[in-house]
Amino acid sequence: MPNMLDMLLEHKIVAILRGIEDRHADRAGRALIDGGVKLMEITMNTAGAPAMIERWRSLFDGEAAVGAGTVLDADMARDAIAAGAQFLISPNLDEAVIAYGRERGVAVWPGVMTPTEIVRAWKAGAEAVKLFPMASLGLKYLSEIRGPLDSIPILATGGVDADNIGDYFKAGANAVGIGSKLLNMEWVREGRFDLVTAQAKRFTGAVRRLDSVQ
Query: Could you tell me the CA-to-CA distances from 47 to 20, 37, 134 in Å, in that order?
Result: 8, 23, 26
Residue 108 CA to residue 128 CA, distance in Å, equals: 8
Is residue 10 flagged as an active site residue?
Answer: no
Contact 155, 195 (CB under 8 A): no
Task: Give the active site residue among 12, 38, 127, 130.
Answer: 130
Is residue 186 flagged as an active site residue?
Answer: no
Residue 17 CA to residue 38 CA, distance in Å, equals: 13
DSSP-derived letter for residue 190 is: T
Contact 190, 21 (CB under 8 A): no
Contact 162, 202 (CB under 8 A): yes
- List phi, psi (to 5°) of 173: -70, 145
Task: Give the active site residue among 41, 117, 190, 201.
Answer: 41
Q: Supply the residues annotated as catalytic.
A: 41, 130
